[in-house]
Chain A
Amino acid sequence: EADIYQTPRYLVIGTGKKITLECSQTMGHDKMYWYQQDPGMELHLIHYSYGVNSTEKGDLSSESTVSRIRTEHFPLTLESARPSHTSQYLCASSHLGTDNTEAFFGQGTRLTVV
């Protein structure tokens, strides 16, 4: 199994609450990604990072923010959760170079905002 972990696995939270989804990897990967996976199962890239203090927005606009203070940690934060944020969130990581391009995925966080 890949050494990338997401917590919590499931979260039900009320509208307006601030939440942070955690993602950690122990593989020393520079690149990390956050994807939002909708009920139709399609994956949309919302954030990515090439290393410490590097963050970029992905193709899908998201009200969430991310930070990369440590190589192994890439948390995603929603300042004020809304029902439209209900989705599955997948974190992934990979090496930065082109020699080993495989991305490893966490088990995901299923977020429900009520």
Chain B
Amino acid sequence: AQTVTQSQPEMSVQEAETVTLSCTYDTSESDYYLFWYKQPPSRQMILVIRQEAYKQQNATENRFSVNFQKAAKSFSLKISDSQLGDAAMYFCAYLSGSARQLTFGSGTQLTVLP
């Protein structure tokens, strides 16, 4: 079974600064998908960014980018120019190549300080 590990239960960042959230995963598959989801307080979980394992180029969505290290099985999220609205619980998730189960890490609570 695949496992996803987020070793930082809590992180904080000053507004306008940059923060990196860590994620590692364990799999024997070569084809899979990785995601970062955001869950604001009392609101729906939404997708932040997605990475296909077969793509070497790191995914980027505006202020959000990832550092995907396939050999190291590492998938970190970088948030640039942090905003107060970025405060949320962030989950790293893994989807197998067969697109069957979606497995989540334990989450990182991000606080943005004004």
Residues of A at under 8 Å CB distance from B? Answer: 1-2, 31, 33, 35, 40-43, 45, 48, 50, 58-59, 90, 92, 94, 96-98, 101-103, 105-108
| Interface magnitude class on chain B | 20 to 34
B101 within 8 A of A: yes
What sequence of 0s and 1s flags, for each residue 18-33 of chain B, a beta carbon within 8 Å of any chain A beta carbon?
0000000000000001
Q: How far is the CA of A67 from the CA of B39 in the complex (A)?
A: 27
Which residues of B in the span 56-114 have a Cβ within 8 Å of any Cβ on A? 89, 91, 93, 95, 97, 99-104, 106-107, 109
Q: How far is the CA of A45 from the CA of B100 in the complex (A)?
A: 12
Q: How far is the CA of A31 from the CA of B99 in the complex (A)?
A: 9
B43 / chain A contacts, CB cutoff of 8 Å: 107
CB distance from A69 to the nearest CB of B (A): 21
Using A43-B91, A98-B97, A98-B99 as known contacts, say yes or no to A103 and B106 having CB atoms under 8 A apart: no
**Could you tell me if A105 and B45 are in contact, using CB atoms closer than 8 angstroms?**
yes
B1 / chain A contacts, CB cutoff of 8 Å: 59
Q: How far is the CA of A98 from the CA of B101 in the complex (A)?
A: 12
**Could you tell me if A41 and B106 are in contact, using CB atoms closer than 8 angstroms?**
yes
Q: How far is the CA of A33 from the CA of B95 in the complex (A)?
A: 13
Identify B103's interface contact among A2, A41, A59, A94, CB under 8 A: A59
**Could you tell me if B109 and A101 are in contact, using CB atoms closer than 8 angstroms?**
no
B107 / chain A contacts, CB cutoff of 8 Å: 41-43
Q: How far is the CA of A106 from the CA of B43 in the complex (A)?
A: 9
CB distance from A43 to the nearest CB of B (A): 4
